[in-house]
């Protein structure tokens, strides 16, 4: 059992920052992590250069695409649930010339900037980013060959992320594939109250209620009728990109904070703090693990 007790409200605490505010204010800062605005960790393939962060981030896109198993689909329709600034959509557009790609984000600032980046990249009509809630979309049932959530499922409600998974199931055609890559609580315990508090702070910084619990998440997939459920633990694959955090943070502090023109808001500081806290609660020190979960709609 994981010993994550419910957070106790502190009446003196400043009001929580909402998702839209966080991603609008901290959004431009992701350029320090990835010039292509890949807002996720990287996937390290043995033999690759661990110093080349952008290629590891791009490799994560490639790994998600491989698990969507689209080989036999001539004109695949794909949906990105929580697309950020659309880097994964643009990566897929380069690799799948006949695909139609839709991205969903709750953040209007991201819609505007993702669509501008798509246009600049010459994606044309095939790629579109719209505003919406991935737990309740206006999109047609059974209309997607593949649906994926890359480091966005963490924001969904509940420890089983049930509403997000139910919506993904509704949107997929029979035989369609779901891929989710994210941090989860993997079954281990917090080693101390302090570590649990660090976990809570990390969640607050990244505007997450709670991470998914791996056992509840996979049980929900089964209950919804997904088949071929596989869980890959990718801690070692993401570790080389996680190792870039101290250097990226230091560079960001020396450039954007000291000499930057934009005011450092609480949301922006949170985005600096969260990645620093991450290794303190992740395996091997803590219960947080990084997983890629795939499933097929029966
Ligand atoms: C860490 S970013 C990841 C972005 C992108 N998948 C990537 O890897 O570059 C998380 C994204 O999830 C989106 N998100 C969170 N909750 C959402 C919701 N309920 N509906 C739609 N998007 C959501 C945020 O707006 C943000 O774009």
Q: Which residues line ligand 1 (CB under 6 A)?
A: 19, 23, 38-40, 82-84, 87-88, 104-107, 110, 133-135, 150-152, 155
Compute the mean pLDDT over every residue in the chain, rounded to the nearest whole number. Answer: 94
Residue 246 CA, ligand 1 centroid: distance in Å: 24
What pLDDT sits at residue 274?
Answer: 96
Q: Ligand 1: distance of its center to the CA of 39 in Å?
A: 9
| Closest C-alpha residue for ligand 1 atom 14 | 82
Q: What is the pLDDT of residues 8-60, one digit of tens each?
A: 556 666 788 999 999 999 999 999 999 999 999 999 999 999 999 999 999 99
Model confidence at 2, pLDDT cuts 50, 70, 90, reads very low
Instruction: Tell whether the model's pLDDT for residue 85 goes beyond 50.
Output: yes
What's the pLDDT score for residue 92?
98
Whether pLDDT at 1 is above 50: no
How far is the C-alpha of 259 from the C-alpha of 246, rounded, in Å? 19
pTM of the predicted model, to two decimals? 0.95
* Residue carrying structure tokens 């809570």: 200
Find the 135 Cα to ligand 1 centroid distance in Å.
12
CA 192 – ligand 1 centroid, Å = 30
Whether the predicted pLDDT of 137 surpasses 50: yes
Report the 10 Å Cβ neighbour count for 29.
Answer: 18
Measured by CA distance, the residue closest to atom 23 of ligand 1 is 82
Question: Among 84, 179, 207, which residue has the most ligand 1 atoms within 8 Å of its CB, making it the best to mutate?
Answer: 84
Backbone angles phi, psi at 34, to 5 degrees: -150, 115
Contact indicator for 169, 285 with CB cutoff of 8 Å:
no
- pLDDT tens digit sequence for 272-289: 999 999 999 999 999 999
Q: What is the best residue among 106, 111, 149 to mutate for testing ligand 1's pocket, by most ligand atoms within 8 Å of CB?
A: 106
């Amino acid at each position: 059992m994981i010993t994550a007790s419910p957070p106790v409200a502190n009446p003196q605490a400043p009001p929580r920052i909402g998702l839209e505010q966080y991603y609008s204010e901290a959004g431009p800062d992701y350029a320090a992590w990835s010039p292509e605005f890949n807002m996720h960790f990287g996937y390290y393939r043995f033999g690759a250069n661990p110093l080349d962060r952008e290629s590891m981030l791009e490799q994560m896109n490639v790994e998600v695409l491989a698990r969507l198993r689209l080989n036999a689909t001539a004109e695949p329709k794909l949906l990105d649930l929580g697309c950020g600034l659309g880097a994964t959509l643009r990566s897929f557009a380069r690799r799948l010339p006949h695909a139609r790609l839709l991205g969903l984000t709750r953040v209007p600032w991201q819609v505007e900037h993702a669509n501008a980046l798509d246009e600049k990249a010459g994606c044309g009509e095939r790629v579109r980013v719209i505003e919406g809630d991935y737990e309740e979309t206006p999109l047609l049932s059974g209309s997607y060959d593949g649906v994926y959530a890359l480091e966005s499922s963490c924001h969904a409600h509940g420890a089983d992320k049930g509403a997000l998974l139910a919506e993904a199931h509704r949107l997929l055609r029979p035989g369609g594939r779901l891929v989710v890559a994210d941090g989860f609580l993997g079954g281990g315990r917090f080693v101390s109250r302090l570590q649990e508090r660090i976990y809570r702070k990390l969640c607050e910084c990244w505007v997450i209620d709670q991470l998914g619990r791996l056992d509840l998440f996979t049980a929900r997939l089964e209950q919804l009728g997904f088949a071929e459920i596989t869980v890959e633990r990718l801690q070692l694959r993401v570790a080389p990109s996680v190792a870039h955090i101290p250097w990226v943070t230091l560079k960001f502090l020396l450039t954007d904070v000291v000499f930057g023109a934009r005011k450092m808001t609480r949301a922006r500081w949170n985005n600096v703090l969260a990645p620093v806290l991450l290794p303190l609660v992740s395996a091997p020190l803590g219960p947080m693990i990084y997983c890629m979960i795939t499933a097929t709609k029966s």
